Amino acid sequence: MATPRWFRAGQPTPQALALLAQLSAAGEHGLVASDYDAAGLAQRVADATRSTGISDAMRLAQLDHALDAAALHFGNDLHRGRIPPRTAGLALPPRPSLDERAFLASLAASADIAATLRALEPDFLHYRLLEQWLQRYRELASRDAPLTQLPAPRARTVHVGEPYVGAVALRALLTALGDLPANAAPPGVDGRIDAQLSAALAHYQERHGLAPDGELGRRTYDSLTTPLARRVRQIELTLERWRWVPAFDRPPIIINIPQFRLFAFRGLQDRAADMLQMPVIVGQSFREKRTPVFVAELQQVVFRPYWDVPRSILRNELLAPILKDWTYLERNDMEMVRGPRDDSPVVPPSAESVAELAEGRLRLRQRAGAKNALGPVKFVFPNDFGVYLHGTSAQRLFAESRRDFSHGCIRVSDPAALAVHVLRNTDGGRWTPAAVDAAMNGAPNQRVRVVQPIPVMVLYGTALATEDGRILFFDDLYGHDRRLEQLLAH
Protein backbone atom coordinates (compact mmCIF):
# COMPACT_ATOMS: atom_id res chain seq x y z
CA MET A 1 0.00 0.00 0.00
CA ALA A 2 1.44 3.38 -1.05
CA THR A 3 2.54 5.83 1.60
CA PRO A 4 -0.24 8.38 2.15
CA ARG A 5 0.50 11.87 0.95
CA TRP A 6 -1.70 13.70 3.47
CA PHE A 7 -1.29 11.54 6.59
CA ARG A 8 1.57 10.64 8.90
CA ALA A 9 1.21 7.95 11.61
CA GLY A 10 -2.53 7.92 10.98
CA GLN A 11 -2.91 11.66 11.54
CA PRO A 12 -3.50 14.39 8.95
CA THR A 13 -0.45 16.48 8.12
CA PRO A 14 -0.52 20.24 8.71
CA GLN A 15 -0.79 20.59 4.93
CA ALA A 16 -3.90 18.37 4.89
CA LEU A 17 -5.59 20.50 7.52
CA ALA A 18 -4.60 23.68 5.68
CA LEU A 19 -5.96 22.23 2.44
CA LEU A 20 -9.29 21.46 4.12
CA ALA A 21 -9.43 25.04 5.39
CA GLN A 22 -8.80 26.38 1.90
CA LEU A 23 -11.48 24.15 0.40
CA SER A 24 -13.94 25.41 3.01
CA ALA A 25 -13.01 29.00 2.10
CA ALA A 26 -13.47 28.48 -1.66
CA GLY A 27 -16.16 31.14 -1.63
CA GLU A 28 -13.50 33.80 -1.08
CA HIS A 29 -12.41 33.15 -4.67
CA GLY A 30 -15.94 33.15 -6.06
CA LEU A 31 -16.01 29.35 -6.06
CA VAL A 32 -18.30 26.94 -4.18
CA ALA A 33 -16.97 24.85 -1.29
CA SER A 34 -19.50 22.08 -1.88
CA ASP A 35 -18.02 21.46 -5.36
CA TYR A 36 -14.99 20.02 -3.53
CA ASP A 37 -16.99 18.28 -0.79
CA ALA A 38 -15.17 20.46 1.75
CA ALA A 39 -17.48 19.67 4.66
CA GLY A 40 -17.68 15.97 3.82
CA LEU A 41 -13.92 15.60 3.56
CA ALA A 42 -13.38 17.41 6.86
CA GLN A 43 -15.79 15.03 8.57
CA ARG A 44 -14.19 11.97 6.96
CA VAL A 45 -10.74 13.08 8.09
CA ALA A 46 -12.00 13.53 11.63
CA ASP A 47 -13.66 10.08 11.62
CA ALA A 48 -10.74 8.25 9.97
CA THR A 49 -8.11 9.34 12.47
CA ARG A 50 -9.82 7.99 15.60
CA SER A 51 -8.37 4.44 15.28
CA THR A 52 -5.51 2.71 13.49
CA GLY A 53 -6.68 -0.79 12.49
CA ILE A 54 -6.02 -2.41 9.10
CA SER A 55 -9.45 -1.34 7.80
CA ASP A 56 -8.67 2.16 9.02
CA ALA A 57 -5.39 2.14 7.09
CA MET A 58 -7.35 1.27 3.95
CA ARG A 59 -9.77 4.04 4.74
CA LEU A 60 -6.89 6.48 5.12
CA ALA A 61 -5.56 5.42 1.72
CA GLN A 62 -8.98 6.04 0.16
CA LEU A 63 -9.24 9.36 1.94
CA ASP A 64 -5.74 10.30 0.83
CA HIS A 65 -6.84 9.73 -2.75
CA ALA A 66 -9.99 11.80 -2.16
CA LEU A 67 -7.88 14.70 -0.89
CA ASP A 68 -5.72 14.44 -4.02
CA ALA A 69 -8.82 14.61 -6.21
CA ALA A 70 -10.25 17.59 -4.31
CA ALA A 71 -6.93 19.44 -4.43
CA LEU A 72 -6.66 18.89 -8.20
CA HIS A 73 -10.26 19.94 -8.77
CA PHE A 74 -9.81 23.09 -6.70
CA GLY A 75 -6.40 23.89 -8.19
CA ASN A 76 -7.59 23.58 -11.77
CA ASP A 77 -10.68 25.71 -11.05
CA LEU A 78 -8.45 28.45 -9.59
CA HIS A 79 -6.01 28.18 -12.48
CA ARG A 80 -8.28 27.91 -15.53
CA GLY A 81 -11.89 28.30 -14.43
CA ARG A 82 -14.67 25.81 -13.92
CA ILE A 83 -15.79 25.49 -17.54
CA PRO A 84 -13.94 26.02 -20.85
CA PRO A 85 -14.63 29.48 -22.30
CA ARG A 86 -15.75 28.00 -25.61
CA THR A 87 -18.53 26.18 -23.76
CA ALA A 88 -19.82 29.66 -22.91
CA GLY A 89 -19.62 30.67 -26.57
CA LEU A 90 -16.44 32.75 -26.22
CA ALA A 91 -13.47 32.36 -28.57
CA LEU A 92 -10.76 32.27 -25.93
CA PRO A 93 -8.15 29.50 -25.87
CA PRO A 94 -8.34 27.28 -22.78
CA ARG A 95 -5.59 27.74 -20.24
CA PRO A 96 -3.44 24.63 -19.73
CA SER A 97 -4.30 22.08 -17.07
CA LEU A 98 -2.04 21.63 -14.10
CA ASP A 99 0.78 19.12 -14.11
CA GLU A 100 -1.03 16.87 -11.63
CA ARG A 101 1.94 14.99 -10.23
CA ALA A 102 4.12 18.08 -9.78
CA PHE A 103 1.26 20.14 -8.35
CA LEU A 104 0.25 17.55 -5.73
CA ALA A 105 3.87 16.98 -4.67
CA SER A 106 4.42 20.73 -4.33
CA LEU A 107 1.18 21.30 -2.44
CA ALA A 108 1.70 18.44 0.00
CA ALA A 109 5.17 19.77 0.87
CA SER A 110 4.21 23.46 0.97
CA ALA A 111 4.86 25.50 4.10
CA ASP A 112 2.08 27.87 3.01
CA ILE A 113 -0.82 26.08 1.31
CA ALA A 114 -2.80 29.31 0.89
CA ALA A 115 0.08 31.00 -0.94
CA THR A 116 0.70 27.96 -3.16
CA LEU A 117 -2.96 27.92 -4.20
CA ARG A 118 -3.07 31.69 -4.61
CA ALA A 119 -0.17 31.45 -7.09
CA LEU A 120 -2.45 29.47 -9.40
CA GLU A 121 -4.81 32.40 -9.88
CA PRO A 122 -4.38 35.13 -12.51
CA ASP A 123 -1.44 37.38 -11.69
CA PHE A 124 -3.51 40.56 -12.05
CA LEU A 125 -3.82 43.29 -9.46
CA HIS A 126 -7.42 43.95 -10.48
CA TYR A 127 -8.32 40.29 -9.99
CA ARG A 128 -7.08 40.49 -6.38
CA LEU A 129 -8.92 43.75 -5.79
CA LEU A 130 -12.14 42.21 -7.08
CA GLU A 131 -11.72 39.23 -4.72
CA GLN A 132 -11.52 41.69 -1.83
CA TRP A 133 -14.73 43.41 -2.89
CA LEU A 134 -16.47 40.04 -3.04
CA GLN A 135 -16.28 39.72 0.74
CA ARG A 136 -17.54 43.28 1.23
CA TYR A 137 -20.56 42.74 -1.00
CA ARG A 138 -21.37 39.42 0.62
CA GLU A 139 -21.60 41.29 3.92
CA LEU A 140 -23.84 43.93 2.34
CA ALA A 141 -26.03 41.28 0.72
CA SER A 142 -26.63 39.61 4.07
CA ARG A 143 -28.71 42.67 5.03
CA ASP A 144 -29.95 43.26 1.52
CA ALA A 145 -33.72 43.60 2.05
CA PRO A 146 -33.73 46.86 4.00
CA LEU A 147 -31.01 48.39 1.81
CA THR A 148 -32.27 48.08 -1.77
CA GLN A 149 -36.02 48.13 -1.16
CA LEU A 150 -36.56 51.74 -2.14
CA PRO A 151 -40.04 53.10 -2.80
CA ALA A 152 -40.67 53.94 -6.45
CA PRO A 153 -40.57 57.69 -7.16
CA ARG A 154 -43.87 59.28 -8.05
CA ALA A 155 -42.34 61.28 -10.90
CA ARG A 156 -40.48 59.81 -13.87
CA THR A 157 -37.35 61.66 -12.68
CA VAL A 158 -36.71 63.25 -9.29
CA HIS A 159 -34.52 66.31 -9.81
CA VAL A 160 -32.24 68.04 -7.33
CA GLY A 161 -34.29 69.90 -4.74
CA GLU A 162 -37.43 67.84 -5.34
CA PRO A 163 -39.06 65.64 -2.65
CA TYR A 164 -38.65 61.86 -2.66
CA VAL A 165 -40.46 59.70 -0.12
CA GLY A 166 -37.52 57.29 0.01
CA ALA A 167 -34.82 59.89 0.63
CA VAL A 168 -33.87 58.47 4.04
CA ALA A 169 -33.63 54.91 2.69
CA LEU A 170 -31.65 56.16 -0.32
CA ARG A 171 -29.16 57.88 1.98
CA ALA A 172 -28.74 54.66 3.97
CA LEU A 173 -28.08 52.64 0.81
CA LEU A 174 -25.60 55.13 -0.66
CA THR A 175 -23.79 55.36 2.70
CA ALA A 176 -23.51 51.56 2.93
CA LEU A 177 -22.15 51.41 -0.63
CA GLY A 178 -19.62 54.16 0.05
CA ASP A 179 -21.06 56.72 -2.38
CA LEU A 180 -22.14 58.99 0.48
CA PRO A 181 -19.47 59.51 3.17
CA ALA A 182 -20.41 58.05 6.54
CA ASN A 183 -19.60 61.40 8.16
CA ALA A 184 -21.80 63.38 5.76
CA ALA A 185 -23.89 66.15 7.25
CA PRO A 186 -27.36 65.04 8.39
CA PRO A 187 -30.16 65.58 5.85
CA GLY A 188 -32.84 68.21 6.04
CA VAL A 189 -36.19 67.33 7.48
CA ASP A 190 -38.26 67.58 4.31
CA GLY A 191 -37.07 64.39 2.52
CA ARG A 192 -35.68 65.94 -0.64
CA ILE A 193 -32.90 65.05 -3.06
CA ASP A 194 -30.60 67.73 -1.69
CA ALA A 195 -27.24 68.72 -3.19
CA GLN A 196 -25.35 66.25 -0.99
CA LEU A 197 -27.59 63.33 -1.91
CA SER A 198 -27.46 64.33 -5.57
CA ALA A 199 -23.64 64.27 -5.50
CA ALA A 200 -23.73 60.79 -3.95
CA LEU A 201 -26.17 59.67 -6.66
CA ALA A 202 -23.82 60.99 -9.35
CA HIS A 203 -20.94 59.04 -7.78
CA TYR A 204 -23.08 55.89 -7.76
CA GLN A 205 -24.15 56.46 -11.37
CA GLU A 206 -20.57 56.87 -12.53
CA ARG A 207 -19.66 53.54 -10.89
CA HIS A 208 -22.56 51.77 -12.59
CA GLY A 209 -22.16 53.00 -16.15
CA LEU A 210 -25.03 55.49 -15.93
CA ALA A 211 -25.15 59.14 -16.97
CA PRO A 212 -23.88 60.91 -13.79
CA ASP A 213 -26.60 63.56 -13.65
CA GLY A 214 -27.29 63.21 -9.90
CA GLU A 215 -31.00 62.69 -10.53
CA LEU A 216 -33.23 59.74 -9.66
CA GLY A 217 -34.50 58.54 -13.03
CA ARG A 218 -35.86 55.14 -14.06
CA ARG A 219 -32.54 53.54 -15.04
CA THR A 220 -30.88 54.77 -11.84
CA TYR A 221 -33.79 53.53 -9.71
CA ASP A 222 -33.66 50.10 -11.39
CA SER A 223 -29.92 49.92 -10.70
CA LEU A 224 -30.28 51.03 -7.07
CA THR A 225 -32.94 48.39 -6.41
CA THR A 226 -30.92 45.56 -7.96
CA PRO A 227 -30.49 43.04 -5.10
CA LEU A 228 -26.97 43.13 -3.71
CA ALA A 229 -26.87 39.35 -4.04
CA ARG A 230 -26.98 40.02 -7.78
CA ARG A 231 -23.92 42.24 -7.44
CA VAL A 232 -22.17 39.42 -5.59
CA ARG A 233 -22.96 37.15 -8.50
CA GLN A 234 -21.57 39.68 -11.00
CA ILE A 235 -18.29 39.68 -9.09
CA GLU A 236 -18.19 35.87 -8.99
CA LEU A 237 -18.89 35.55 -12.71
CA THR A 238 -16.28 38.16 -13.60
CA LEU A 239 -13.67 36.38 -11.47
CA GLU A 240 -14.49 33.21 -13.39
CA ARG A 241 -13.94 35.00 -16.70
CA TRP A 242 -10.66 36.57 -15.55
CA ARG A 243 -9.44 33.02 -14.84
CA TRP A 244 -9.88 32.36 -18.57
CA VAL A 245 -7.64 35.24 -19.65
CA PRO A 246 -4.50 33.94 -21.36
CA ALA A 247 -1.20 34.82 -19.75
CA PHE A 248 0.68 37.41 -21.79
CA ASP A 249 4.38 37.98 -22.32
CA ARG A 250 3.98 41.32 -24.13
CA PRO A 251 1.96 44.37 -23.10
CA PRO A 252 -1.54 43.77 -24.47
CA ILE A 253 -4.49 45.90 -25.49
CA ILE A 254 -7.60 44.88 -23.56
CA ILE A 255 -11.15 45.95 -24.37
CA ASN A 256 -13.84 45.31 -21.74
CA ILE A 257 -17.08 45.23 -23.73
CA PRO A 258 -19.66 46.06 -21.00
CA GLN A 259 -17.46 48.88 -19.72
CA PHE A 260 -17.07 50.41 -23.21
CA ARG A 261 -13.39 50.99 -22.43
CA LEU A 262 -9.97 50.17 -23.87
CA PHE A 263 -6.79 49.63 -21.83
CA ALA A 264 -3.47 49.70 -23.69
CA PHE A 265 -0.72 48.40 -21.42
CA ARG A 266 2.74 49.96 -21.50
CA GLY A 267 4.17 47.15 -19.35
CA LEU A 268 3.13 43.73 -18.10
CA GLN A 269 1.46 44.98 -14.90
CA ASP A 270 -2.20 46.00 -14.85
CA ARG A 271 -1.74 49.30 -13.06
CA ALA A 272 -3.69 52.35 -14.17
CA ALA A 273 -0.61 54.58 -14.18
CA ASP A 274 0.99 52.27 -16.76
CA MET A 275 -1.92 52.18 -19.21
CA LEU A 276 -3.41 54.31 -21.95
CA GLN A 277 -7.19 54.26 -21.43
CA MET A 278 -10.03 55.52 -23.60
CA PRO A 279 -13.76 55.08 -24.20
CA VAL A 280 -14.87 52.82 -27.04
CA ILE A 281 -18.04 51.99 -28.94
CA VAL A 282 -18.88 48.29 -29.31
CA GLY A 283 -21.38 46.19 -31.24
CA GLN A 284 -25.10 46.47 -30.71
CA SER A 285 -26.90 44.01 -28.45
CA PHE A 286 -28.61 42.27 -31.38
CA ARG A 287 -27.07 38.82 -31.67
CA GLU A 288 -25.73 39.31 -35.21
CA LYS A 289 -24.11 42.67 -34.35
CA ARG A 290 -22.42 41.87 -31.05
CA THR A 291 -18.69 42.32 -30.61
CA PRO A 292 -17.24 38.84 -30.02
CA VAL A 293 -14.98 37.85 -27.12
CA PHE A 294 -11.66 36.64 -28.54
CA VAL A 295 -7.90 37.18 -28.68
CA ALA A 296 -5.77 38.12 -31.67
CA GLU A 297 -2.59 40.02 -32.53
CA LEU A 298 -2.47 43.58 -33.83
CA GLN A 299 -0.18 43.57 -36.86
CA GLN A 300 -0.89 46.69 -38.88
CA VAL A 301 -2.02 50.31 -38.67
CA VAL A 302 -3.75 51.88 -41.67
CA PHE A 303 -3.90 55.68 -41.90
CA ARG A 304 -6.79 57.26 -43.83
CA PRO A 305 -8.23 53.82 -44.61
CA TYR A 306 -10.82 52.89 -47.16
CA TRP A 307 -13.92 51.33 -45.64
CA ASP A 308 -14.68 48.10 -47.44
CA VAL A 309 -18.40 47.76 -46.77
CA PRO A 310 -19.26 44.25 -45.51
CA ARG A 311 -21.77 42.37 -47.67
CA SER A 312 -24.22 42.14 -44.77
CA ILE A 313 -24.30 45.94 -44.36
CA LEU A 314 -24.54 46.45 -48.11
CA ARG A 315 -27.40 43.97 -48.41
CA ASN A 316 -29.37 45.02 -45.34
CA GLU A 317 -28.79 48.78 -45.23
CA LEU A 318 -27.19 50.35 -48.30
CA LEU A 319 -28.36 48.52 -51.40
CA ALA A 320 -31.92 49.87 -51.29
CA PRO A 321 -30.92 53.58 -51.27
CA ILE A 322 -28.27 52.93 -53.95
CA LEU A 323 -30.81 51.22 -56.22
CA LYS A 324 -33.21 54.09 -55.66
CA ASP A 325 -30.69 56.85 -56.40
CA TRP A 326 -27.18 56.28 -57.71
CA THR A 327 -26.13 59.72 -56.47
CA TYR A 328 -26.21 58.16 -52.96
CA LEU A 329 -22.73 56.82 -53.77
CA GLU A 330 -21.13 60.17 -54.53
CA ARG A 331 -22.96 61.96 -51.71
CA ASN A 332 -21.44 59.49 -49.25
CA ASP A 333 -17.96 59.27 -50.82
CA MET A 334 -18.60 55.68 -51.92
CA GLU A 335 -17.44 53.85 -55.02
CA MET A 336 -17.78 50.43 -56.63
CA VAL A 337 -14.56 48.51 -57.20
CA ARG A 338 -13.75 45.44 -59.28
CA GLY A 339 -11.24 43.27 -57.44
CA PRO A 340 -9.87 42.84 -53.92
CA ARG A 341 -6.85 45.17 -54.02
CA ASP A 342 -6.52 48.78 -52.91
CA ASP A 343 -5.61 49.71 -56.50
CA SER A 344 -8.39 47.68 -58.13
CA PRO A 345 -10.25 49.69 -60.81
CA VAL A 346 -13.18 51.86 -59.80
CA VAL A 347 -16.36 51.15 -61.78
CA PRO A 348 -18.66 54.12 -62.53
CA PRO A 349 -22.32 53.76 -61.54
CA SER A 350 -24.74 52.46 -64.12
CA ALA A 351 -27.68 50.09 -64.21
CA GLU A 352 -25.31 47.27 -65.10
CA SER A 353 -22.66 48.03 -62.48
CA VAL A 354 -25.22 48.46 -59.69
CA ALA A 355 -26.69 45.09 -60.69
CA GLU A 356 -23.18 43.58 -60.45
CA LEU A 357 -22.83 45.14 -57.00
CA ALA A 358 -26.11 43.58 -55.89
CA GLU A 359 -24.96 40.18 -57.21
CA GLY A 360 -21.64 40.40 -55.33
CA ARG A 361 -19.41 40.76 -58.40
CA LEU A 362 -18.34 44.25 -57.36
CA ARG A 363 -17.46 45.47 -53.91
CA LEU A 364 -18.41 48.74 -52.27
CA ARG A 365 -15.95 50.93 -50.43
CA GLN A 366 -15.95 54.40 -48.90
CA ARG A 367 -13.10 56.74 -49.73
CA ALA A 368 -10.89 58.23 -47.05
CA GLY A 369 -12.08 61.56 -45.73
CA ALA A 370 -14.34 63.31 -43.26
CA LYS A 371 -17.31 61.04 -44.00
CA ASN A 372 -15.39 57.77 -43.75
CA ALA A 373 -16.99 55.46 -41.17
CA LEU A 374 -13.56 54.28 -39.94
CA GLY A 375 -12.28 57.74 -39.16
CA PRO A 376 -8.59 58.53 -39.75
CA VAL A 377 -7.02 55.25 -38.55
CA LYS A 378 -7.74 51.51 -38.63
CA PHE A 379 -5.93 48.93 -36.44
CA VAL A 380 -5.80 45.48 -38.02
CA PHE A 381 -5.59 42.26 -35.97
CA PRO A 382 -6.64 39.36 -38.25
CA ASN A 383 -9.41 37.23 -36.76
CA ASP A 384 -12.28 34.99 -37.78
CA PHE A 385 -14.88 37.69 -37.06
CA GLY A 386 -13.72 40.51 -39.33
CA VAL A 387 -13.45 42.80 -36.29
CA TYR A 388 -10.93 45.61 -35.98
CA LEU A 389 -10.33 48.80 -34.01
CA HIS A 390 -10.86 52.10 -35.79
CA GLY A 391 -11.74 55.75 -35.38
CA THR A 392 -15.11 57.21 -36.32
CA SER A 393 -16.63 60.23 -37.95
CA ALA A 394 -19.36 60.26 -35.27
CA GLN A 395 -17.36 61.47 -32.24
CA ARG A 396 -20.56 62.76 -30.57
CA LEU A 397 -21.52 59.18 -29.66
CA PHE A 398 -18.73 59.00 -27.07
CA ALA A 399 -20.75 61.39 -24.90
CA GLU A 400 -23.32 58.63 -24.34
CA SER A 401 -23.00 56.48 -21.20
CA ARG A 402 -24.15 53.34 -23.06
CA ARG A 403 -22.20 52.94 -26.29
CA ASP A 404 -23.33 49.83 -28.18
CA PHE A 405 -23.79 51.38 -31.62
CA SER A 406 -21.52 49.50 -34.05
CA HIS A 407 -21.98 46.44 -36.25
CA GLY A 408 -19.36 44.56 -34.20
CA CYS A 409 -16.12 46.45 -34.76
CA ILE A 410 -14.72 48.62 -31.98
CA ARG A 411 -14.54 52.40 -32.43
CA VAL A 412 -11.94 54.20 -30.33
CA SER A 413 -12.32 57.77 -29.08
CA ASP A 414 -8.68 58.80 -29.57
CA PRO A 415 -7.22 56.92 -32.54
CA ALA A 416 -4.21 59.25 -32.74
CA ALA A 417 -3.12 58.45 -29.16
CA LEU A 418 -3.63 54.73 -29.79
CA ALA A 419 -1.59 54.91 -33.00
CA VAL A 420 1.29 56.60 -31.16
CA HIS A 421 1.12 53.86 -28.50
CA VAL A 422 0.95 50.98 -30.98
CA LEU A 423 3.78 52.32 -33.15
CA ARG A 424 6.04 53.50 -30.31
CA ASN A 425 8.65 50.82 -31.10
CA THR A 426 8.22 50.81 -34.89
CA ASP A 427 10.62 52.46 -37.37
CA GLY A 428 13.10 53.57 -34.73
CA GLY A 429 10.57 55.61 -32.78
CA ARG A 430 9.73 57.97 -35.64
CA TRP A 431 5.97 57.75 -35.01
CA THR A 432 5.68 60.80 -32.82
CA PRO A 433 2.32 62.54 -32.30
CA ALA A 434 3.31 64.96 -35.08
CA ALA A 435 4.13 62.11 -37.48
CA VAL A 436 0.86 60.36 -36.70
CA ASP A 437 -1.06 63.59 -37.24
CA ALA A 438 0.64 64.08 -40.60
CA ALA A 439 -0.22 60.52 -41.66
CA MET A 440 -3.85 61.01 -40.60
CA ASN A 441 -4.00 63.96 -42.98
CA GLY A 442 -1.82 62.53 -45.75
CA ALA A 443 -2.29 60.08 -48.60
CA PRO A 444 -5.12 57.52 -48.33
CA ASN A 445 -4.61 53.97 -47.16
CA GLN A 446 -1.06 54.17 -45.78
CA ARG A 447 -0.22 50.82 -44.21
CA VAL A 448 2.35 50.54 -41.42
CA ARG A 449 3.36 47.11 -40.12
CA VAL A 450 3.87 46.94 -36.34
CA VAL A 451 7.41 45.84 -35.51
CA GLN A 452 6.20 43.31 -32.93
CA PRO A 453 2.56 42.13 -32.97
CA ILE A 454 0.56 43.27 -29.95
CA PRO A 455 -1.86 40.91 -28.16
CA VAL A 456 -5.45 42.19 -28.35
CA MET A 457 -7.90 40.70 -25.85
CA VAL A 458 -11.57 41.52 -26.25
CA LEU A 459 -13.06 40.51 -22.90
CA TYR A 460 -16.34 40.69 -21.00
CA GLY A 461 -16.59 41.56 -17.31
CA THR A 462 -19.54 43.27 -15.61
CA ALA A 463 -17.64 44.11 -12.41
CA LEU A 464 -14.30 45.88 -12.02
CA ALA A 465 -12.36 46.94 -8.93
CA THR A 466 -10.18 50.02 -9.23
CA GLU A 467 -6.95 51.02 -7.53
CA ASP A 468 -8.59 54.09 -5.97
CA GLY A 469 -10.83 51.92 -3.80
CA ARG A 470 -13.98 51.77 -5.91
CA ILE A 471 -15.94 48.97 -7.52
CA LEU A 472 -17.69 49.47 -10.86
CA PHE A 473 -20.65 47.51 -12.18
CA PHE A 474 -21.93 47.38 -15.77
CA ASP A 475 -25.02 46.05 -17.49
CA ASP A 476 -24.95 42.49 -18.83
CA LEU A 477 -25.03 43.92 -22.34
CA TYR A 478 -25.10 40.66 -24.31
CA GLY A 479 -26.50 38.29 -21.65
CA HIS A 480 -23.16 36.51 -21.18
CA ASP A 481 -23.54 36.64 -17.38
CA ARG A 482 -26.91 34.98 -17.61
CA ARG A 483 -25.58 32.23 -19.86
CA LEU A 484 -22.51 31.58 -17.71
CA GLU A 485 -24.66 31.39 -14.58
CA GLN A 486 -26.84 28.73 -16.26
CA LEU A 487 -23.80 26.73 -17.32
CA LEU A 488 -22.29 26.80 -13.82
CA ALA A 489 -25.58 25.63 -12.33
CA HIS A 490 -25.42 22.32 -14.22
At residue 47, the pLDDT reads 86
For residue 412, name the pLDDT band (cuts at 50, 70, 90): very high
- Which residue pairs, CB below 8 angstroms and at least 24 apart, start in 336-339? 336/362, 336/363, 336/364, 337/362, 337/363, 337/364, 337/365, 338/362
Between the alpha carbon of residue 364 and those of residues 164, 323, 374, the distances in Å are 55, 13, 14
Q: What is the largest CA-CA distance in the chain?
A: 95
What is the rounded distance in angstroms from the CA atom of residue 415 to the CA atom of residue 429? 18
**Residue-level pLDDT at 248:** 87
Lowest average pLDDT, out of 186-195, 296-305, 336-345, 479-488, goes to 186-195
For position 353, what pLDDT does the model report? 95
Q: What is the pLDDT of residue 239?
A: 98
Residues found in the chain:
490
pLDDT surpassing 60 at residue 262: yes
Predicted local confidence at residue 54, as pLDDT: 47
Higher pLDDT, 51 or 367: 367
Output the pLDDT for position 52: 55
| Domain 247-488, CATH | 2.40.440.10
pLDDT band at 1 (very low <50, low <70, confident <90, very high): low
CB 148 within 8 A of CB 228: yes
Q: Is the pLDDT of residue 66 over 90?
A: yes
Q: Map out the domains of the chain as residue ranges.
A: 7-121, 150-224, 247-488
pLDDT tens, residue by residue, 468-481: 999 999 999 999 99
Residue 308 predicted with pLDDT over 60: yes
* Confidence category of residue 431, pLDDT binned at 50, 70, 90: very high
pLDDT at 189: 61
Q: 432-456: per-residue pLDDT in tens? A: 999 999 999 999 999 999 999 999 9
**Structure confidence by residue, pLDDT tens digits, 270-299:** 999 999 999 999 999 999 999 999 999 999
pLDDT of residue 2: 75
- The pLDDT, as a whole number, for residue 51 is 61
CATH topology of domain 150-224: Muramoyl-pentapeptide Carboxypeptidase; domain 1 (1.10.101)
> What number of helices (H) and strands (E) belong to the chain?
18, 17
Are the CB atoms for 267 and 469 separated by under 8 Å? no
- pLDDT value of residue 53: 52
Residue 341 has pLDDT above 60, yes or no: yes
Strand partners, 281: 411
In this predicted model, what pLDDT tens digit does every residue of 382-400 receive, in sequence order?
Answer: 999 999 999 999 999 999 9
HSE (side-chain half, CA atoms, 13 Å) at 150: 27
**Average pLDDT value for residue range 254-266:** 98
pLDDT exceeds 90 at position 184: no
Q: What mean pLDDT, rounded, does the chain reach?
A: 94
Per residue in 369-383, pLDDT (tens digit) is 999 999 999 999 999
The answer to whether residue 363 scores a pLDDT higher than 90 is yes
Average pLDDT over residues 153-163: 94
